[in-house]
Structure 1
Amino acid sequence: MRLNQYISSSGLCSRRKVDVLIKEGKVTVNGEQISLGHVISEGDRVEVNGLLIEAKENDIYLMLNKPPGVTCTAASQIEGNIIDFINYPERIFPVGRLDKQSEGLILLTNDGSIVNELLLEENNHEKDYIVTVDKKITAVFMEEMASGVEIYNPRKKENVRTKPCKVVQLDDTCFKITISQGLNRQIRRMCRRFQFTVTRLQRVRIKELPLGALALGQWRQLTEEEIAGLK
């Protein structure tokens, strides 16, 4: 197994971050600094900044129908964090985020190797959301949302234009939107651009994985077929 995959699968960080740590000389195998692309063997002692990296006995993949009010962070000092909410007996972390007010499908795992695959924007993975707004939807609103909207990106500290996306009206105040980006509070910011306020936001699909009939606040293990689909 490649070293960066071994370390990321422990849940410490992503493979991209591991590569940075290797370049910085912070990773050792059997006490020696190594180069990018290193392949480890059974019995090798891997350390990052002196911390021994233990191989996991098994990979964990969960899906949760997150209720509003739960914060998608593994930080134990944050009240209402998702790890305390799910109360799983082994160490896991959320893949990506749903903002605190939003609900729906979120994944939790101890496999850091899938994080980049699911979260990198250039991978163009689709996600479906059901959105309810505070007033009657218009045809112009639907058209403008689908064609791309200029919103503020707090990470870049500048306005950016969202990618064109699919938008389908469901009733007078509700629509489904399919996006492949994950900008901060993207859908809420898109709606606000047209003076609409989101009153409910629910994620119902990630790639080929639907939320299905999983009840709000409940979680389950992914099947082998679902795991393969994510990878």
Structure 2
Amino acid sequence: MEENIRLNKFLSDAGVCSRRAADKAIEEGRVLVNKKPALMGQRISSSDEVLFDGKAVSNANKKPVLIAYNKPVGIVCTAEKKEKNNIVDHIGYPERIYPVGRLDKDSNGLILLTNQGDLVNKIMRAVNAHEKEYIVSVDKEIDGDFIKKMSDGVYLDELEVTTRKCKVKKLSKYEFNIILTQGLNRQIRRMCQMLGYKVKTLKRVRIMNIELGDLKVDTYRDVTEEEIATLNKMLEGSKN
């Protein structure tokens, strides 16, 4: 491990949780350094002992893991144990992993899980503007005005923000394809609601170069070496 590393980065690199979740755990007193409660912003070295929820943490010789999972409706994209339908316990992967971002409980489709903290940050930070693609069905017939307004950006009252311009294509009377480069909370559902539509089904089919394909619901696969090579190339220059 590199010397004098931030504790939240160490926990993220070790595959325990994201940096944001690490900060929350530190605030909640769930992290100990040399048997003392950790401090926000604390830096550690290789000689320090770190405990997370009472278990020792090490990132030595950690094999990188990146899997693609077809999440069913009802599973919650969190590693929090208090959530009975949390994605980590549901999958039961033999190593400690956590989800790359979120896919809301009522949605299904592709989500990545990993033990690589920097990878999570590079993919998820909005400033990096990486694509995520969805297929959505709604309760009313889609017209040209709907497609144009969705594409141009929709002001979301609840979040007080206008969504970025995006690519939207009508697939059928009630179904469309949308490619986003940001990930606001329940963004597509909120966009549709502002235009008088209600989402019936929402499935994510692609994250950057990684596609859902024919992966069966509630199953996962290892992301291939070829996919990882392409992903890393796409992430060059991304902030973490």
The alignment's TM-score, normalised by the length of structure 2, stands at 0.79
| Per-residue deviation, 1:223 | 1.1
Q: 2-side partners of 1:209 and 1:173: how far apart?
A: 26
Unaligned runs of 5+ in 1: 30-43
Alignment of 1:142-157 (within 5 A): 142-153=147-158
Query: 1:124 aligned to 2:125?
Result: no
Q: Aligned residue for 2:217?
A: 216
Q: 2-side partners of 1:75 and 1:18: how far apart?
A: 12
Q: 2-side partners of 1:85 and 1:18: how far apart?
A: 21
Q: 2-side partners of 1:173 and 1:198: how far apart?
A: 10
Q: 2-side partners of 1:131 and 1:100: how far apart?
A: 15
The ranges of structure 1 where at least 4 consecutive aligned residues each deviate by more than 3 angstroms after the TM superposition are 1-7, 12-19, 21-25, 46-53
> Quick one: which of 100, 103, 107 aligns to 1:102?
107
Contact 2:17/2:97 (8 A) holds in 1: no
| Per-residue deviation, 1:12 | 3.8
Q: Alpha-carbon deviations, 1:160-183, whole Å to 9, x = none?
A: 000111000000000000000100
Q: Alpha-carbon deviations, 1:42-96, whole Å to 9, x = none?
A: xx32445898541253111111000101111111121211112211122111110
Contact 1:26/1:49 (8 A) holds in 2: no
Q: Aligned residue for 1:137?
A: 142
Q: Aligned residue for 2:15?
A: 11
> Quick one: which of 95, 98, 101 aligns to 1:93?
98
Residues 144 and 58 of structure 1, relative CA distance in 2, 3 Å threshold: same
Residues 94 and 13 of structure 1, relative CA distance in 2, 3 Å threshold: closer
Contact 1:67/1:217 (8 A) holds in 2: yes
Residues 148 and 88 of structure 1, relative CA distance in 2, 3 Å threshold: same
Q: Aligned residue for 1:70?
A: 75
> Quick one: which of 45, 48, 64 aligns to 2:47?
45
| Aligned partner letter, 1:151 | L
Contact 1:72/1:82 (8 A) holds in 2: yes
Unaligned runs of 5+ in 2: 27-37, 233-240
Q: 1-side partners of 2:41 and 2:148: how far apart?
A: 51
The alignment's TM-score, normalised by the length of structure 1, stands at 0.82
| Aligned partner letter, 1:228 | A
Q: 2-side partners of 1:229 and 1:18: how far apart?
A: 29
| Aligned partner letter, 1:123 | N
Residues 89 and 14 of structure 1, relative CA distance in 2, 3 Å threshold: closer
Q: 2-side partners of 1:27 and 1:8: how far apart?
A: 13
Q: 2-side partners of 1:115 and 1:46: how far apart?
A: 25
When the two chains are superposed, the root-mean-square deviation of aligned CA atoms in Å is: 2.5
| Per-residue deviation, 1:24 | 5.3
Q: Alpha-carbon deviations, 1:95-152, whole Å to 9, x = none?
A: 1000000000001111112111010001010010000001100110011000000014
Aligned residues: 212
Q: 2-side partners of 1:26 and 1:185: how far apart?
A: 33
SS of residue in 2 equivalent to 1:8? helix
